[in-house]
Copies of this chain bind each other. A is one copy, B any other.
Amino acid sequence: MVLDRGLVFMSDTRTNAGLDNISTFRKMTHWEVPGERILTVMTAGNLATTQAVISLLDERTKAPDDREPSLLKAPSMFQAARIVADTLKDVIAKHNKNGQQAASAFNATIILGGQIKGGPTRLFLVYPEGNFIEAGEDTPFFQIGEMKYGRPILVRAYEPGMSFEEAMRLLLVSFDSTLKANLTVGLPFDYHLYSDGSHELGKNGRIGVDDAYFQTVSQGWGDALKTALDSLPTFDLD
């Protein structure tokens, strides 16, 4: 999500290969040169694909002089997005070409956001086809994965001027709506709050199953929604 003050990232950690095979994996990754660049990537889709993409991107940053192209050497966010997109496309193509056909597709979608010194803070959505779009004023946030349940509250309540504290509350309510309806999304949630112009990793952490604040929001939201409904006039049957 793009705010006036920076970027807010949040991802869940639930992965599944069927209802009887549920695991927890981190879906958020950072690459940082403090004071110069910070890149945050979130992934959704086939876990083998997304882990391969992250590993490839990461290996190249470990020895950036030997291996090209590296996210740490990309001159702009746009070029960084191209690197991520090409890597994603190549990994999917490789899985699709060789060996046994899988029942499910190897597709994955990626959100990339961050800032590189000399350029603005930018947020991209990368498609499995290897192309990507950028967030703008009219579409200031992206969702990937199981997105429909949590979308209505984002559409209604997002405001570019909101604080990080307010944005976290909004995202947790949005995720909670999905939690209540769908087994493929689960706690804990990872988050990262990037302050525009800082060029370094911002406040970040993990919200676990026992998190007191999340419990308050989740339980309070049901009552708050009912109060909101009651504030509207009822339908007139006559």
Contacts and interface: CB of A to CB of B under 8 A. Distances in A.
A234 interface: yes
Interface string A220-234: 111011111101111
A232 B228 contact: no
A233 B216 contact: yes
Q: How extensive is the interface on chain A, given as a class?
A: 35 or more
A163 B235 CA distance: 10
Interface string A161-191: 0011110111011000110110000000000
Interface of A: 148-153, 155-157, 163-166, 168-170, 172-173, 177-178, 180-181, 193, 203, 213, 216-217, 220-222, 224-229, 231-237
Contact of A173 (B163, B168, B232): B232
A228 B235 CA distance: 21
Number of copies of chain A assembled together: 2
Nearest to A179: B152
A231 B220 contact: yes
A165 B230 CA distance: 11
Nearest to A205: B237
Nearest to A167: B235
Contacts of A222: 156
A55 to B, nearest CB: 32
Nearest to A163: B234
A224 B153 CA distance: 11
